[in-house]
């Protein structure tokens, strides 16, 4: 079994799977169970200022986007930060960390954007033995209306300012958790780095409304007839998160800044996606909330087997491995030609490739041959768009074949060039160099 040990922003953990700051990390009972199940670390659910804690709604706090067979595709919540007393949380954090010294114990924080508030809470953490802090600049609901969470994360200057306070008043590694509810994720990441952050974590949840009850015509879920936008996460947000992680990882102004990847991670493949695109570890919430803490065992086992198979000795060796393959559209090779190929042996003849291509793409798949039902690509029409590959219900039945240089593209009647040529130099580009 490959060694999954990671050191992220100076924080050691036996595997790269941390539970994100969220309901699963709300209290000692849960976190003890999580560590027993094998989680490498936790980010303790966000602590607020001393004094009367926040109050949560006592109705549906969660909503979901479900597949027809009720697999949870997307998840939304309107829960606030911890609604438990600060002292109690701090006592439990200290106790759990004492019992689990090898696990990462990071504490999420959210207090008003005032220096004194941050200074006070950081002082309270000193005796807990926590390994690091995560600044919650991400929550898009409730707290943001009070000038915290995403309200801070949407203003790079605030991020830099608060991060700098935290570095000033604490010796602990500072992870800045970013909100995706922003136009360009690189700006808050740069601000965090300027403020001295040891790492960023992303994404926090996305502003979302799950739907409307068709018969009461009420926003759903609702609390006594009204609903409020909540934070969206789960499998459906992963691609958004991956792009943001990659954006930061390949931004020259934040190069080398450790990234904790968050967003829809439910298995080792998801984790690998984040790690290969630049994340040093990952945080999980929704998958645990759907399946329970045991799910980490499947994630760890999958990643470990993959690493053995690929010959990776450490997670670190994979970090950012796919990043060089991420580029901007203008640098894609316009001389590259792919064509779809349907494997007739595994084709079940559902015809979805045909109708998808016929109705919405390039009319490049036949539905008949010699009077019989038969689906075959017309290379003279195919642009290699991949739609048929994606709508086919059979894995690997339709694939894209890369034409080799010198081969004729039947669509254009041109030979495939071996030259790399992109849009920046293309004759059709009025801005070409």
Partner 1 sequence: MTTAQQPDVRPGRLAAAEYANAFADASPRLTRSQALLEAERCLYCFDAPCTTACPTSIDVPSFIKRIADDNLRGAARTILESNPLGGMCARVCPTENLCEAVCVRNTQTGNPVAIGRLQRHAVDALMESSKPQIFTRAPATGKTVAVVGAGPAGLACAYTLARKGHDVVIFDARPKAGGLNEYGLASYKTPNQFAQAEVQWLLGIGGIAVRNDWKLANASQLDALRGEFDAVFLAMGLSGTHALGIPGEALSGVRDAVDFIAELRQSPDLSTLPVGRRVVVIGGGMTAVDAAVQAKLLGAESVHMVYRRGADDLSASTAEQEWAQTNGITIGLWLAPIELVSTLDCANPGVGSGGHVCAVRFAHQAMVNGRLCATGETTILQADMVLKAIGQQLGNPLLAEAGLTLQGGRIATDALGQTSVPGVWAGGDCRAGGLDLTVEAVEHGKQSAQAIHAHLTRT
Binding site for partner 1 (CB under 8 A): 67-70, 348-352, 354-355, 367, 373, 393-394
Residue of 113, 139, 385, 397 marked active site: 139
CB of 355 to partner 1, least distance (A): 4
Instruction: Assign 3-class secondary structure to the chain.
Output: CCCCCEEECCEEECCCEEECCCHHHCCHHHHHHHHHHCCCEEEEEEECCCCCCCCCCCCCCEEEEECCCCCEEEEEECCCCCCCCHHHHHHHHHHHHHHCCCCEEEEEECCCCCHHHHHHHHHHHHHHCCCEEEEECCCCCCCHHHCCCHHHHCCHHHHHHHHHHHHHHCCCCEEEECCCCCCCCHHHHHHHHHCCCCEEEECCCEEECCEEECCCCEEECCECCECCCEEEECHHHHHHHHHHHHHHHCCCCCCCCCEEEECCCCCHHHHHHHHHCCCCEEEECHHHHHHCCCHHHHHHHHHHHHHHHHCCCCHHHCCCCCHHHCCCHHHCCCCCCEEEEECCCCCCCCCHHHHHHHHHCCCCEEEEECCEEEEEECCCCCCCCCHHHHHCCCCCCEEEEECCCCCEECCCCEECCCCCCCHHHCCCCCCCC
Output 345 or 413, the one with its CB closest to partner 1: 345
Output 70 or 171, the one with its CB closest to partner 1: 70
CB of 349 to partner 1, least distance (A): 6
Output 313 or 394, the one with its CB closest to partner 1: 394
CB of 59 to partner 1, least distance (A): 24
CB of 347 to partner 1, least distance (A): 8
- Decide if 382 is catalytic: no
CB of 351 to partner 1, least distance (A): 3
Output 50 or 347, the one with its CB closest to partner 1: 347
Output 334 or 367, the one with its CB closest to partner 1: 367
Query: Would you please indicate which residues are annotated as catalytic (active-site) residues?
Result: 139
């Amino acid at each position: 079994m490959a060694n999954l040990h990671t050191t992220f922003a100076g924080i050691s953990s036996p595997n790269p799977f941390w539970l994100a700051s969220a309901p699963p990390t709300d209290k000692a009972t849960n976190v003890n169970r999580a560590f027993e199940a094998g989680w490498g670390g936790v980010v303790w659910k966000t602590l607020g200022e001393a004094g009367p804690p926040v109050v949560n709604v006592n109705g549906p706090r969660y909503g979901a986007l479900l597949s027809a067979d009720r697999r949870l595709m997307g998840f939304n919540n309107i829960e606030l930060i911890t609604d438990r007393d600060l002292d109690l949380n701090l006592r439990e954090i200290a106790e759990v960390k004492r019992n689990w010294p090898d696990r990462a114990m990071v504490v999420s924080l959210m207090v008003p954007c005032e220096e004194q508030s941050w200074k006070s809470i950081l002082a309270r953490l000193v005796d807990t033995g926590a390994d690091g802090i995560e600044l919650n600049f991400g929550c898009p609901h409730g707290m943001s209306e009070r000038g915290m969470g995403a309200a801070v994360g949407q203003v790079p200057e605030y991020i830099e300012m608060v991060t700098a306070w935290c570095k000033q008043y604490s010796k602990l590694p500072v992870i800045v958790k970013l909100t995706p509810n922003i136009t360009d994720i690189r700006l808050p990441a740069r601000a965090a780095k300027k403020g001295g952050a040891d790492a960023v974590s992303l994404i926090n949840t996305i502003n979302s409304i799950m739907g409307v009850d068709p018969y009461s015509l009420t926003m759903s879920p609702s609390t006594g007839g009204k609903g409020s936008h909540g934070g969206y996460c789960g499998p459906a947000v992963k691609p958004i998160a991956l792009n943001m992680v990659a954006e930061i990882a390949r931004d020259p102004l934040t190069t080398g800044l450790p990234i904790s990847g968050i967003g829809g991670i439910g298995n080792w493949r998801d984790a690998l996606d984040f790690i290969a695109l630049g994340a040093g570890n990952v945080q999980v919430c929704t998958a645990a909330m759907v399946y329970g803490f045991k799910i980490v065992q499947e994630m760890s086992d999958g990643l470990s087997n993959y690493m053995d198979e690929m010959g990776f000795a450490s997670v670190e060796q994979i970090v950012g491995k796919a990043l060089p393959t991420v580029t901007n559209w203008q640098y894609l090779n316009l001389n590259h030609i792919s064509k779809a190929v349907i494997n007739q042996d595994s084709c079940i003849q559902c015809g979805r490739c045909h109708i998808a291509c016929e109705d919405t793409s390039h009319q490049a798949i036949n539905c008949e041959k010699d009077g019989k039902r038969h689906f075959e690509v017309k290379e003279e029409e195919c642009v290699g768009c991949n739609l048929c590959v994606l709508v086919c219900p059979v894995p690997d039945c339709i694939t894209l074949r890369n034409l080799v240089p010198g081969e004729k593209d039947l669509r254009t009647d041109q030979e495939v060039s071996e030259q790399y040529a992109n849009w920046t130099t293309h004759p059709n580009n009025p801005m070409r160099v």
